[in-house]
Amino acid sequence: MSKKLLPDNLKEKLSTLSKTELKYFQIMWAKSGVLFITAKPGVAKSAIARSIAEKMNFKYIDMRLSMCDETDFKFPFIDSVEANGKTNKVSDYAIPKWAFESNQQPTIIHFEELNRAPQFVRNAALQILLERQIGEFAFNENVLMMSSGNLGDEDSTDVEEFDSALNNRLWHISHSLSFQEWCEGFANKNVHRSIVSYLTAHPENLYKPATDASKAYATPRSWTFLSDYIVSNWGMDASPKDFINSIKEVACSAVGPAGLKYIQYCEDMLNINIQDVINNWDKVKKDIEKYNRDKKSELIQSLKEIEILKLNSKQLDNVGGFLKTVGDDERFAFLLDLVDNTDSTSDKTFKTWLIKNFKDDLVHMRELNDKS
């Protein structure tokens, strides 16, 4: 099968892919060997494949092998063949509808749980992955394929070990997902802000392995389940006060023990939130000064979601008072992000506030900029 270089209309879309997505897409496009990514459960193996398809305008087909049987890959039937004046009954196979449809437009086919599937299903999937054919039916150049699996003992899943001959036909990649990648690629747009804010301050809780005491545990997938529960019942803009009582009942069912800390975070946010800082700084100042770094970091994360140019001078002064209570590194990072993403020259009130409260920080920022 001849291989074609990436056409110009697809090259233009490559810039939309993350570094990891680009690597996976380029391996799939080569169609030499099979991309096989492994990771812990719930760490966005499906999500990254779907994201690549969406960004590149490919159709996405998800084959969950642990739930498939052999007829999902080819369906047997009896056919008639004429030979020497006689009609002979022979067995044949019909190609599945998903295979036919994949050839009608650019498509990514993702064979999931390859190392957990029953052997006869795995063999059928591997024949397609390695040969790019089902009998005489051949997949065209615009059909890309990948596979994924779990880690085995490392993530407490039952998997089949591949022999050396098969391993030599696979691109083995250990897939991981940092908190920043999860936010930028998915969570910032799709996960409730209270969960994103909580995990921004406590990224170590994005993934917490299962324990003997709890079958539920925290992963990007299970945090998304919890977010969907909130958003579906109360909306994306809901405040913790709207759902706190219900969350107390179900959070641990989704994310295990990590849910207790998220509940505590929501309760803390109900006591003092960023609106209290903006509008009632004098009343909450003494309490906030006692907060640890994590809690202040959570408030800074909430502050990033505020349209600061819409604040009046009194509210800006309140924000300035709060920022002076946080660590120098966090204040500097916030101001740097604020200046980079806000047209400070277009609003005199905002510009005056910056200079009045953070002159030394601004000078330091300029010095760093000059050096770079």
pLDDT at site 1: 45
Last residue of a domain, which of 220, 239, 271?
271
In a domain, 78, yes or no: no
If asked whether residues 331 and 218 sit together in one domain, one would say no
Last residue of a domain, which of 130, 145, 174?
174
pLDDT at site 157: 65
In a domain, 35, yes or no: yes
If asked whether residues 161 and 290 sit together in one domain, one would say no
If asked whether residues 169 and 223 sit together in one domain, one would say no
Q: How far apart are CA 242 and CA 52, in angstroms?
A: 35
pTM of the model: 0.68
In a domain, 343, yes or no: yes
DSSP symbols for 126-174: HHHHHH-EETTEE--TTEEEEEEE--GGGGT---PPPPHHHHTTEEEEE
Q: How far apart are CA 268 and CA 241, in angstroms?
A: 11
pLDDT in tens, the chain (372 residues): 456 788 888 899 999 998 999 999 999 999 999 999 998 888 888 989 999 999 999 999 999 998 888 788 877 777 777 887 788 887 777 889 999 999 999 999 999 999 888 888 998 899 999 999 998 899 999 999 999 988 766 666 677 888 899 999 999 999 988 898 888 888 888 999 889 988 988 899 999 888 878 889 999 999 999 999 999 999 998 888 899 999 999 999 999 999 999 999 888 777 788 889 999 999 888 878 877 777 788 788 889 888 888 888 899 999 999 999 988 888 888 888 887 777 655 678 888 888 888 888 777 766 666 665
Who's near 46: CB < 8 A, 6+ residues apart? 62, 110, 112, 148
Q: How far apart are CA 110 and CA 43, in angstroms?
A: 15
If asked whether residues 198 and 185 sit together in one domain, one would say yes
In a domain, 81, yes or no: no
In a domain, 43, yes or no: yes
Enclosing domain of residue 156? 8-69+101-174
The number of distinct structural domains making up the chain is 3
**Gyration radius of the chain over CA positions:** 27
If asked whether residues 264 and 284 sit together in one domain, one would say no
Who's near 106: CB < 8 A, 6+ residues apart? 56, 57, 58, 59, 142, 143, 144
If asked whether residues 149 and 190 sit together in one domain, one would say no
Both tokens of residue 341? Answer: 């993403």
CATH label of the domain that carries residue 119 = 3.40.50.300
If asked whether residues 240 and 164 sit together in one domain, one would say no
pLDDT at site 345: 58
If asked whether residues 20 and 160 sit together in one domain, one would say yes
If asked whether residues 185 and 299 sit together in one domain, one would say no
If asked whether residues 165 and 230 sit together in one domain, one would say no
pLDDT at site 259: 95
Q: How far apart are CA 156 and CA 308, in angstroms?
A: 47
Last residue of a domain, which of 128, 156, 174?
174
In a domain, 77, yes or no: no
In a domain, 25, yes or no: yes
pLDDT at site 129: 94
Measured between its terminal Cα atoms, the distance across the chain in Å is: 50
If asked whether residues 17 and 152 sit together in one domain, one would say yes
If asked whether residues 19 and 162 sit together in one domain, one would say yes
Closest CA to 289 of 313, 246, 250, 321: 321
In a domain, 145, yes or no: yes
